[in-house]
Amino acid sequence: MNSIPFNQPFIAGKELFYIAQAVLKNQHTAGDGPFTRKCQEWLENCLCCKKALLTHSCTAALEMAAILAEIQPGDEVIMPSFTFVSTANAFVLRGGVPVFVDIHPDTLNINESLIENALTDRTRAIVPVHYAGVPCRMDVIMEIAEKHSLNVIEDAAQALLSRYKERCIGAEGQMICLSFHETKNIICGEGGAILINDSELIQRAEIIREKGTNRGQFFRGQVDKYTWVDIGSSYLPSDILAAFLYAQMENAEQIIAKRNLIFDLYMDGLWPLAKAGYIQLPLIMEDSRCNGHLFYILTKSLKERTALIEFLVQQGITAVFHYVPLHSSPAGQRFGRVNGSLKVTEAVSDCLLRLPLYYEMTPEDVKRVISAIEDFYRQG
């Protein structure tokens, strides 16, 4: 019996052809080549943002966003604790203080009703994280941000092509950060992007991304030489990675449709267990369209989840838990602070289990995972 991994990289179209083209025809393998420009144009057109810049990771995009937001030592940034370390670390690197608030028990996204209570005179930004590709309630968050003159920096690592009330994720906040890591829907191994909707930030973003130089302006003929003008780092990905990524972007709708099909198969197949009270399934929001990024179940306890993971391993199936809450980590306790109770975050962290979901997964694979979970609960 073949094993079923949690994730599996894949070829969707012309990835290898475009890589060869980047090397042999374009003769450009460094950053900001023809394929980088194609990817950025695709993002700007599909996500309705003013400017897209590819980066070598979503972490890099978040670090750029923290610089662009001019986070200073002691400045506070509101975010969920149930997220990847990069969400907080990008701001800590600038001396910022992550302020952790709780999440909704249904969407697992930041509870926007708790944001205003966490604000102080040092608050500079709100960082919504669109968990599992499910959009945060951006209209409410943007209203709070506008009221208090705060930046909104969206961590949309998991949310490419998700929509909230018919608006693309990428059209709301001042800055939006994406990931193309091999675990995401659209991949290039390691990669990311920063989307910018504040026109005043675009020129500086280009400079920060190019090691603090005005190299981009030089190549456009806007200056007669380029030099060091600001802080920055080398945030560009190779055009080889962009070539792979562009082939994935050409097949994005097909990829998302396949993942949503797998998601729906899980929902339908596991619904009887949820109805019987054994597990909790993800919420499908009526006013949103999700991208099928991941499928999870919530067990009743950490002990039950651990036993289920071990049972699935015996069946050749890899299912994994997710984040350890940042507020409970050594660095989170050192660099951040908690505002209010985080009971939902802590409960979800103990009970959430992510099931296998990847582009080349077959309906038979999904049925096998469902059957194994049914067997686990049937045996008591």
Here the tokens at position 44 are 């700007």
Q: Can you tell me the mean pLDDT for 122-134?
A: 97
> Which of residues 117 and 218 earns the better pLDDT score?
117
Looking at the predicted structure, is the pLDDT value of residue 112 above 90?
A: yes
Q: Which pLDDT band, with edges at 50, 70 and 90, does 310 fall under?
A: very high
Looking at the predicted structure, is the pLDDT value of residue 73 above 90?
A: yes
Q: What are the domain boundaries of the chain?
A: 15-250, 252-378
Q: Can you tell me the mean pLDDT for 350-368?
A: 98
The pLDDT of residue 336 is: 98
Closest by CA to 301, choosing from 353, 369, 256, is: 353
The pLDDT of residue 325 is: 97
Whole-angstrom Cα distance, residue 197 to residue 51? 7
Q: Which residue has the tokens 């504040």?
A: 198
What number of CA atoms fall less than 13 Å from residue 88's CA on the CB side?
26
Q: Taking the CB of residue 199, how many other CB atoms lie within 10 A of it?
A: 9
Amino acid at 15: E
The pLDDT of residue 171 is: 87
Check: CB of residue 123 under 8 Å from CB of residue 153: no
Architecture of domain 252-378: Alpha-Beta Complex (3.90)
**CA-only gyration radius of the chain, Å:** 21
Q: Can you tell me the mean pLDDT for 6-21?
A: 98
Phi-psi region of 244 (alpha: psi -120 to 50; beta: other; left: phi over 0): alpha
Q: Which pLDDT band, with edges at 50, 70 and 90, does 253 fall under?
A: very high
The pLDDT of residue 285 is: 82
Share of the chain above pLDDT 90, in %: 92
Q: Which residue has the tokens 């209203």?
A: 143
Provide the pairing of β-strand 151-155 with 175-179.
parallel
Q: Can you tell me the mean pLDDT for 258-284?
A: 97
Here the tokens at position 258 are 């396949």
Alpha carbon of 92 to those of 78, 87, 116, 327: distances in Å?
12, 9, 21, 13
Whole-angstrom Cα distance, residue 93 to residue 72? 10
The pLDDT of residue 348 is: 97
Whole-angstrom Cα distance, residue 82 to residue 325? 5
Closest by CA to 348, choosing from 310, 328, 322, is: 322
Average confidence score pLDDT of the chain: 96
Whole-angstrom Cα distance, residue 35 to residue 53? 12
Q: What angle do CA 216, 222, 223 make, to 5 degrees?
A: 85
Q: What is the DSSP letter of 22?
A: I
Architecture of domain 15-250: 3-Layer(aba) Sandwich (3.40)
* Phi, psi of 80, deg, nearest 5: -75, 155
Whole-angstrom Cα distance, residue 235 to residue 64? 8
Looking at the predicted structure, is the pLDDT value of residue 1 above 80?
A: no
Check: CB of residue 129 under 8 Å from CB of residue 136: yes
Whole-angstrom Cα distance, residue 296 to residue 354? 4
Closest by CA to 154, choosing from 139, 180, 172, 167, is: 172
Q: What is the pLDDT of residues 143-183, one digit of tens each?
A: 999 999 999 999 999 999 999 988 889 889 999 999 999 99
Whole-angstrom Cα distance, residue 308 to residue 315? 11
Looking at the predicted structure, is the pLDDT value of residue 9 above 80?
A: yes
Q: What is the pLDDT of residues 191-221, one digit of tens each?
A: 999 999 999 999 999 999 999 998 878 777 7
Amino acid at 199: S
Alpha carbon of 58 to those of 85, 328, 352: distances in Å?
11, 23, 23
> Which of residues 260 and 219 earns the better pLDDT score?
260
Share of the chain above pLDDT 70, in %: 100
Looking at the predicted structure, is the pLDDT value of residue 45 above 90?
A: yes
The pLDDT of residue 176 is: 98
